[in-house]
Amino acid sequence: MTRRGYYAAVDWGTSSFRLWIIGQDGSVLAERRSGEGMATAAKTGFQRVLDAHLAAVEAPDHLPIIICGMAGARQGWQEAGYLETPAKLAAIPGKAIAVPDVDRDIRILPGLAQRDERQPDVMRGEETQLLGAADGLGGGRHLVCMPGTHSKWVRLSGETVEGFSTFMTGELFDVISRHTILSHAVADADAVAGDNPAFADAVAQAREKPALATNLLFSVRAGQLLYGLSAADARARLSGMLIGLEISGALATAGSVDGICLVGSGGLGALYRSALESQGFAPRLVDADEAVRQGLSAAARLIWPL
């Protein structure tokens, strides 16, 4: 490394690992990405995975590490607990825990928990995206959508998380398209295109009649049998129904908000943008990768001031 690193920022999810070496001026000096998420690292060893990536970018020995995500889960590297809602985002760094018995200063950020017996919920990693994204939102009440395997919708008031809701959209899309009778209908189709009319149509149907969700799913199969629905349209309908149902539920519990913010990236971010726009919303867009790096950096600068 030509310039001296200030800290390393790591987003360690269930199935992905991302590391950035950040300089004192905030610039990214090096970056690593791999599939060695918690699921893999729990077997091969968290320290071993981290050390290999640090060595690959020739990170100095003293470099401190800030981590968010599933590495802090009970079945992760070191349990980092939860901050409870309502939670001030600025309180997150103060609850970071140090990984014991290692040669560096390694801190893992806590997750957020909603201890409500009727609507219990948890997140790990998205709170750090929020910390990074919230800066740009200004004051007021915002609804922040973070799509993914388990999509999160956060009710943010200023810098306080009032509450949030997780929707199993991504995981359901995966298991329904692979393991149910719909697998025949959606087989061999490409990734869903947000501009496919079948997608927007399904978003609208599910938003209008959420109670019919599992009936609408079956209609993909019936549509194939009776109308020769193509695999691409079938896949678009399945995706649109699950995302439309999610939007319907998130908005039903949101109350009055000043705006919707979409923290996403890649194809999935584009799909949610398309779904929201088709329903008449104009979400503010924040890149998810950027947000998590900024959140990790905000925490690092508080923990290790220059």
Positions that interact with its own copies (CB under 8 A): 113-115, 117-122, 150, 165-169, 171-172, 175-176, 178-181, 205, 209-215, 217-219, 221-223, 225-227, 242, 245-246, 248-249, 252-253
Please, which residue, 78 or 114, has the CB nearer to its own copies?
A: 114
Toward its own copies, which CB reaches closer, 49 or 220?
A: 220
Task: Check residue 140 and report its DSSP letter.
Answer: S
CA dist 156 → 86, 150, 266, 298 (Å)? 9, 18, 24, 18
Please state the closest distance from residue 136 (CB atom) to its own copies, in A: 26
Nearest distance in Å: CB 305, its own copies: 34
Spell out the residues 6+ positions from residue 74 whose beta carbon is closer than 8 angstroms to its own: none
Beta-carbon contacts of 45 under 8 Å, excluding residues fewer than 6 positions away, are: none
Q: Which is nearer to its own copies, 252 or 282 (CB)?
A: 252
Q: How far is the CB of 253 from its own copies (least distance, A)?
A: 7
Residue with tokens 């269930």: 14
Smallest gap from residue 245 Cβ to its own copies (A): 6
Q: What angle do CA 159, 162, 166 make, to 5 degrees?
A: 110
Cβ 175 to its own copies, closest distance in Å?
5
Min dist. Cβ of residue 190 to its own copies (A): 23
The whole-angstrom distance between residue 227's C-alpha and the CA centroid of its chain comes to 36
Q: Closest CB to its own copies among 30 and 250?
A: 250
Closer residue to its own copies in complex, CB, 63/68: 68
Would you state the structure tokens that stand for residue 133, as one six-digit string?
A: 């994204």
Task: Name the nearest CA neighbour of 110 among 134, 99, 94.
Answer: 94
Q: Tell me whether residue 59 or residue 113 sits nearer to its own copies (CB atom).
A: 113
Q: Which residues contact 150 (CB under 8 A, 6 or more apart)?
A: 166, 167, 168, 169, 170, 171
